[in-house]
Homo-oligomer: A and B are copies of this chain.
């Protein structure tokens, strides 16, 4: 039986309708939304409860475009595997891939955003807070979220582009400035240059447009959903799933104690 307090009767402010009218996010769906706002604008409105400026829309689009596609990633492989078994359930294949959009690969945008939040509001000042945080991670022997990349060395090419788009579109620059200070302190603490990677840059520019850190993963989920639909389109045109299955089955060799040929 429910163990949660539910004294207050909750309400919703998302949507309502009758025979002729549909209200979504305090707008008339037919008169004010369809044909008037883009998907990116409505997504911003849903999360932030207000219309974005043109600059905010451009920044959110830059993030959604950056996150959509990275080739044959774990999420794309999971989606294609599920399609092999359940070809009539496109939603299941996409859902499977989205389940991998979690703490390990995408979660670093949240960590960067939390650190920038702390730095920009610290009483000790931006530099002191950045130094404390950078040294804290380093001394604990932990990776600092949003820094470093195994392929994109010395620098992740997406980061300057994302910052450039944010600056060209009216970002105040508070979080970008804090990220730059943190980056200097990270390099000092590590004794070598670590790039701000794409998820680090995304955590920064999403902070610029006010997205709370605990919803940022949702932006990645939305963008990857479109990428995974694209992977399914390719899988239907040019199947790779069965090949990948065979490959994995063959290359991860069986090494149990009991061997075949028992007869």
Contact = CB atoms under 8 A, between A and B. Distances in A.
Contact of A248 (B85, B229, B247): B247
B87 A98 contact: no
Given A30-B157, A39-B61, A77-B248, A253 B12 contact: yes
A251 interface: yes
Contact of A258 (B23, B70, B103, B260): B23
A68 B17 CA distance: 14
Given A161-B30, A226-B222, A251-B247, A151 B12 contact: no
A199 to B, nearest CB: 11
Interface string A229-251: 11111101011111111111101
Given A91-B99, A222-B229, 17 more contacts: A12-B255, A14-B234, A17-B71, A20-B263, A25-B69, A33-B65, A72-B245, A72-B252, A73-B245, A77-B81, A77-B248, A88-B102, A89-B103, A91-B102, A92-B92, A215-B233, A244-B247
25 contacts: A1-B249, A2-B245, A3-B149, A3-B150, A6-B246, A10-B239, A10-B252, A12-B71, A12-B72, A12-B254, A15-B69, A17-B71, A17-B152, A18-B151, A25-B69, A33-B65, A34-B66, A39-B226, A73-B249, A77-B244, A78-B96, A81-B100, A91-B98, A243-B252, A244-B252
